[in-house]
Chains A and B, each alone.
Chain A
Amino acid sequence: MKIAVLVKRVPDTTSVFKIADDNASVVTDNLKYVMSPYDEYAMEAAIQLREAGQAEEVIVVSLGDESCKETMRTALAMGADSGLLVKCDGAGPTSRGVAEALAAALKNVGASLILAGKQAVDDDASQVAERIAELLDCPHASVVSRMELVGDTLTVDREIEGGKYTLELPLPAVVSIEKGINTPRYPTLPNIMKAKRKAIEEQDINALGLDAAVLASHITVEAMALPRQERLTNVLEGDNETRVATLVKALREEEKVL
């Protein structure tokens, strides 16, 4: 079985962001880019399936320009076997455009399982995996926190407010992964060295019969603004004992200072 893992190159969220003069885009100079953190969980899940003997090959798939290869090398250094870069220079496609391009490329990959992070941390759109499933006519589960493969059936837990769904999906399927499903491994030095020799195939979107301008045309960003920085005020309620317990819990779990 072959697993394809969709990986997106995104700015590190610890970067200092500035809005460009057009008021509708972000200044990208000097931003540090990383693999979207949710995609790391997807990568790890794929590698674990291969290590358990349930998959033979893990292919990392990304869309963008040449610079995406840097992020793909990280995935290869984590243990992916090969890469496929869907080349798309110029204006960034919308989520719909990305899904259309990736779905077109994935048709030729032959993956039985397509994994992705539950969302990318740059636009938080959470659309691409869902759209790809639709375009490929596959079942899809999102926000998955547990996954078990028996034969051609995948059993997953899907996180919902206050509980979880347990779903069964026949393969081929598309699954988007929630954090906490595993602990993504760090690239090891031997794997970093091996990653250099692993192939990253390139496929231009034009060769897939697609047009970058069209893929970018579904949405127009009119304006961007940085979030207002406000003091977060939280008035604790109840008797003293309850309020102290709530405060300690918040300091420990939310602020992580205890």
Chain B
Amino acid sequence: MAETFVSMRNLKFLIYELNNAEALCAYPYFEEHNREIFDLVLDTALKMGTDDLYPRFVEMDREQPTFDAGTISVNPWLREFMAACGEGGWIGANAPFEHGGQQIPDTVMVAFRFIFGAANYSASAYPFLGTGAALLMISFASRELIDTYVPNIFAGKWQGTMALTEPHAGSSLTDLKTTATRTDAGYFNLVGQKIFISCGEHNAVNNIVHLMIARIEDAPAGIKGISLFVVPKLRPCADGTLESNDLICTATFHKLGYKGAPITQLEMGEHGDCRAWLVGEENHGLSYMFQMMNEARVGVGAGATAIATAAYYASLEYTRERAQGRPITAKDPATPQIPIIEHADVKRMLLFQRAITEGSLSLIIYCSNLIDRIHAGPAEDKERLELLLDFLTPIAKTYPSEMGILSVSTGLQCLGGYGYCDEFPLEQLYRDIRIHPIHEGTTGIQGMDLLGRKVTMKNGQALMIYIEEITACIEKAKGVEAIAAEAQQLEEALAQLQQLTMHLGGLAMKGEIDLFLADATLYLEYVGIITMAWQWLWQATVSETALADCDTEGDTNFYMGKRYACHYFFRYELPKLQGLATRLQQSDGLTLSMQAKYFED
């Protein structure tokens, strides 16, 4: 196994040098914190990741959870791990003090979760699924529900989940069928099925608490009739004991990767006795759920980045040690072979991975920093930052997920035949990362979200804010010699983005909505590349300033590495915009006119 799976140097560069996390401590909400605390949090994550999670990375893949009569048995260490996360305060770390949290900024906690994810993505899913569920309850549930469930989730004793998908309703939540019937006893009776519920059943905790969406019997059709419920596997009785809630796990799925965490099928109300407690108001469920979903989507981007980062370091380590071949100009076979990292094409593959992973991580930490500033910063900034975060969310979910797959694949390629074998972690990482463009909204859904919703909302304000932020970055970079040309390139790309968006918007104005959205995924890819170019230009601007005052070899190498990765992105990845732009401007509706029957034979 490779020794390194993350770079703390890079993580701290992004957290402190770029996003100035210490400035958050000036806000009253974060005033109990300082950099020393943040560093201790990150060091603890690395220590737990190194000592506990990483050593079980392979084992949890090879020894998958087993299903037997409604129960799923997982790696026995996970019970200990959940307890450690609970006792350590990590599950509720960013919750308010009054709910047992420590109000740690998301900027830091996303890095914590990233470290866990790079060490062992499957293991990292268990505690932090609970975080999302508990924070959702804190935002919208009654005090009684919060007091009953949240402390147990934060303690790692109960697992929290998010239960949306049904067998016939995945991306199309409009069509979900799980039904809640009113009773006079303060709860609803639930009947239905859910599938693909991560950690929806397992024996590392004493109870599972689902934050589940369902339709109340007389609710309006469509998404306006969706409500959110707390549905436990075991329901707490007045005397403190737990009793069955008529919610059973009927199956687990056998997956390509991410095998250490079970994905389950659930059946509610087989005996008419599955109780569900309403969260907030009736028929507002989807908007509540989307509070968690938006952060979950940034979390998916973080998870993909984490896996791709582990792959990058594994391939980097290998290419430094593996001697193979000689310089192209060396003709004498008696000369010693050189480490493959010396070959230009191998350096290209490493630079590609670095450009993808560090660019993605930069965006993830930036988005988390936005979450913190929205939550705790000045009220007058809130709306602007919310719009920006809304705009960036589908990008932060998709770019790291889609490009992360290519990045891991390139890492695997660096190892040649060994990369394809399970003696090295690359083949597992390649399988593990594949879920990310699928869960929490597929890439297709994200494309439509970006173009159909985010670009057009509030008369295009979110897009304008996005452009303003990038323009401000470009202006700063123009004065930095090493990246002035890149600043110019991004300025031109941004102008093209506006022109393309006008073109597509024109289709929508003419009522050609199908055509407008037909290539939304390509538009998302296009905006993803621009967003990465922005993040790289920003990193390079900060790096170049630091480089000027740098007096150690280690720092010089680090910042020079940033310069090269930035140049790589602009010279190898940014030109891809042209192909996408060509296609997006054609708008000939090829995929619309293609008929299903033409796919026969």
Contact = CB atoms under 8 A, between A and B. Distances in A.
Interface of A: 14, 27, 29-30, 32, 34, 70, 73-74, 77, 186-190, 192-193, 195-196
A74 B37 contact: no
A14 B41 CA distance: 20
A189 B555 contact: no
Contacts of B89: 188-190
Contact of A192 (B41, B48, B558): B41
A74 B46 CA distance: 13
23 contacts: A14-B3, A29-B552, A29-B553, A30-B552, A30-B554, A32-B8, A34-B43, A73-B36, A73-B40, A74-B40, A186-B44, A186-B47, A187-B88, A188-B89, A189-B90, A189-B102, A190-B89, A190-B102, A192-B41, A192-B44, A193-B32, A193-B37, A196-B32
Interface in B1-48: 3-4, 8-9, 32, 34, 36-37, 39-41, 43-44, 47-48
A133 to B, nearest CB: 30
A195 B48 contact: no
B338 interface: no
Nearest to A14: B3
B40 A192 contact: yes
B84 interface: yes
A30 B7 CA distance: 12
A244 B573 CA distance: 52
Contacts of A70: 36, 39
Interface residues of B, number: 28
Contacts of B32: 193, 196
A77 B40 contact: yes
Given A29-B553, A186-B84, A193 B39 contact: no
Contacts of B553: 27, 29-30
Which of A29, A73, A193, A196 has the most CB atoms of chain B within a 10 A radius of its CB?
A: A193
Nearest to A77: B40
Contacts of B87: 188
Given A29-B552, A74-B43, A193-B102, A188 B36 contact: no
Interface in B343-380: none
A192 B87 CA distance: 13
A73 B36 CA distance: 8
Contact of B9 (A30, A189, A193): A30
Given A32-B8, A186-B44, A186-B48, A192 B37 contact: yes
Given A70-B36, A73-B36, A196-B34, A189 B43 contact: no
B268 interface: no
Nearest to B39: A70
A195 B40 contact: yes
A39 B7 CA distance: 25
Contacts of A77: 40, 44
A15 to B, nearest CB: 10
Contacts of B102: 189-190, 193
Q: Which of A29, A187, A192, A196 has the most CB of B within 10 A?
A: A192
Nearest to A256: B55
Contacts of B552: 29-30
A20 to B, nearest CB: 11
Contacts of A190: 89, 102
A220 to B, nearest CB: 26
Contact of B37 (A27, A30, A32, A196): A196
B110 to A, nearest CB: 15
Q: Which of B9, B39, B44, B555: most chain A Cβ within 10 A? A: B44
B118 interface: no
Of the candidates A34, A189, A190, A195, the one having the most CB atoms from chain B within 10 angstroms of its own CB is A189
Contact of A30 (B39, B44, B555): B555
A145 to B, nearest CB: 20
B93 interface: yes
A73 B40 CA distance: 8
B104 A189 contact: yes
Contacts of A187: 40, 44, 88
From A70, A74, A186, name the one whose CB has the most chain B CB atoms within 10 angstroms: A186
Given A14-B3, A189-B93, A195-B40, 6 more contacts: A29-B552, A29-B555, A30-B553, A30-B555, A73-B36, A192-B41
A189 B109 CA distance: 11
Contacts of B43: 34, 74
Contacts of A14: 3-4
Given A29-B553, A30-B554, A189 B36 contact: no
Nearest to A31: B554
A34 B46 CA distance: 12
Nearest to A27: B553
Contacts of A27: 553
A30 B557 CA distance: 11
Contacts of B9: 30
B428 to A, nearest CB: 15
Given A29-B554, A189-B104, A196 B88 contact: no
A32 B43 CA distance: 10
Interface string B58-88: 0000000000000000000000000010011
Nearest to B4: A14
Contacts of A74: 40, 43
Given A29-B554, A30-B554, A189 B34 contact: no
Interface string B530-562: 000000000000000000000011110010000
A192 B552 CA distance: 31
